[in-house]
Amino acid sequence: MIGAFFEDINYGADGGLYAELVQNRSFEYYAVTGYTNQGPLTAWTTVQEGGAQVTLAVENQAPLNSSNTNYLKVAINQTGTATGVYNSGFNGIAVKHGDKYDYSLYLKRDADLDKPVIIQLRNAVSGVLATDTIKATSHQWQRYVGVLTPKLTITDARLYILPQGSGNVYLDMVSLFPQKTFKNRKNGLRADLAQAIADLKPQFLRFPGGCVSHGRGLANAYRWKHTVGDVAQRKPNWNLWGYHQTYGLGFYEYFQYCEDINCKPLPVLPVGISCQFRNREIAPMNQMQEWVDDALDLIEFANGDSSTTWGKVRASMGHPAPFNLEYLCLGNEEDDIPEFRERFMLITNAVRAKYPAIKVIGTSGTDDTGGYYHSLWEFSRANNLDAVDEHYYNSPDWFLNNNQRYDHFDRHGPKVFIGEYASQDDRLYNAIAEAAYLTGVERNADIIELTCYAPLLCNEQNNQWNPDLIRFDNTRVVKTASYYVQQLYGVNAGDVYLPSTITYTDAYTPADSPFTGNVGVGSWNTQADFDDLTLTANNTTLASDDFSAGSANWLVSAGTFNATGGIYTQSSSAQPAYSIFQTAVTQDTYTYTVKARKTGGAEGFL
């Protein structure tokens, strides 16, 4: 099955696929050394027009709830023509003339409860695009909603909140959504991006990671229970790719999207071990039950009826019917260490005992070979896993030269899941290499059950990884050449075998194609030494050169060759470098020998 893989990287969720237009809507951003310098007032600015004076402070003494602890205090010290705050969104807020945008916010104030609060969309020079009024407020948290309809199409709008009167005004969960989301769903997805993914016709969707799934430390792991229920009750987290994530696009929205585009969900859960490249942490075995429960409860959330604990949560969110989860991937690019094996099998055995129909997918590490690749495959075979997740990012030449990688693979063990791959750029040559490689994948469909390119999305103004399948900004979507390769295979799945017969007539005779002419030496992006060239036939030496007399009998075609001290040296990084021996070879059959050694560079000698 050709599928897709969504990870919140390159602002793929907030500021991307998730259609929320307000950034830092609940003031929960905070700086993380080495990862992000975003703070609780990121994207928020005071409005002080006509003599107004405002002080902003983020507080947590009387929060909206225990998951969403921060809120904004707007102290109106002096009124003016416009007083309050505005949000600049993700590099601006793009709005279209005549489209409707739903706003919502939690608000309370300690004075002037009868004074209105003006909600506006403005452009960068404070021109009003749309306006609405909250006529009266309360001194208790209350949610207010309304609709804004801009009169212009612009890319850099701002959402203004302008309380009238004086005193302190408190804000939380400030939101702005286009009504035109994908399939018009509330708390939905950006329509053009969601449609671009749907147009791939993926047969499954892997989510949420990637490195995001096991996180930078256990506290940063992606815990799915924090991502369901009322968005105001979800517990946000920072993202190890260098920003924050609201979890507004959580596991419910993920399952719903899979259903909307008719593909199978393939969730990835951490196994109590965080990312080994970011100061790995390992949950003690006496604390592993919560990680086991996360796996079991996710299956219940997806498949349980509404009488179960987590099936009831799903039903309360608007989906009484199950999502029909079939696969569960445990871990991401894990090292083969004893702690991993113990925790992985603890969760796997619990899943098998309670939900034997669920297919459990393991990991093969971080590369296509070496390291832990082979031992993790042996571990997966020994424990009868349903599939093993392979990841590799290689050059296009690797993909062209490894078309037969799976032709002689073990047909009796777990299936292969190529969960992440790409050829290290998004040019046409890369797409062609990936397309050629997929012919080998399709040819081995009996053992390769699933495959998906990675990453999927990249916000052009917030790029952490290249290449990516789809690039976008706030109004445009660009599909790379690799996108069309994935679409080609996704739409035109090779699910019918056409038998073929090849007839070969052995009409070749060596005399028709004599190997005569000249010989030489060379290298590719490599420095090398050559010596003691000899050409022999029938125990007779036809020609030889030990370079003691220099290289007068050689013609350099490319590179830098010099004969010094009886050694013929190629010292450049040319691709290729080669020099031709000028004594012609006239025999049909001969032996050519030369001594060679690599002295530097990335490849080898020719």
3-state secondary structure of 95: strand
Residue 146: C-alpha distances to residues 60, 100, 119, 179 (Å): 26, 10, 9, 12
Name the helix (H) or strand (E) containing 166: none
DSSP assignment of 328-378: EEE-SS----HHHHHHHHHHHHHHHHH-TTSEEEEE--SSSSSTTHHHHHH
d(CA 212, CA 7) in angstroms, rounded, equals 7
Integer Cα distance of 281 and 359 in angstroms: 27
Q: Please check whether residue 81 is in contact with residue 49, taking contact to mean a CB–CB distance below 8 angstroms.
A: yes
Active-site residue flag, 333: yes
Catalytic residue selected from 7, 20, 253, 333? 333
Alpha helices in 383-532 (DSSP H): 396-401, 428-443, 481-491
3-class secondary-structure state, position 322? coil
Q: Reduced to 3 states, what is the DSSP secondary structure of residue 176?
A: strand
Count CA atoms closer than 13 A to 181's CA, side-chain side: 22
In terms of DSSP bridges, do strands 264-269 and 204-207 run parallel, antiparallel, or are they unpaired?
parallel
Task: Determine the Cα–Cα distance for residues 310 and 331; give it in Å rounded to an integer.
Answer: 22
Q: Which of 482, 427, 457, 311 is nearest to 16 (CA)?
A: 457
Other beta carbons within 10 angstroms of residue 121's beta carbon come to 27
Q: Is 517 left (phi over 0), alpha (psi -120 to 50) or beta?
A: left
Count CB neighbours of 578 within 10 A.
19
What letter would DSSP give residue 386?
Answer: S
- 3-state percent helix, strand, coil for the chain, nearest multiple of 5: 20, 35, 45
Residue 69 Cα to chain centre, angstroms: 29
Helix 251-260 with 289-303: angle, nearest 10 deg:
40
Q: Six-digit token pair at 336? A: 């083969």
Torsion angle of the four alpha carbons 187, 317, 64, 116, in this order, in degrees rounded to the nearest 10: 50
Give the Cα-Cα-Cα angle 282, 287, 355 (nearest 5 degrees): 100
Catalytic site residues? 333
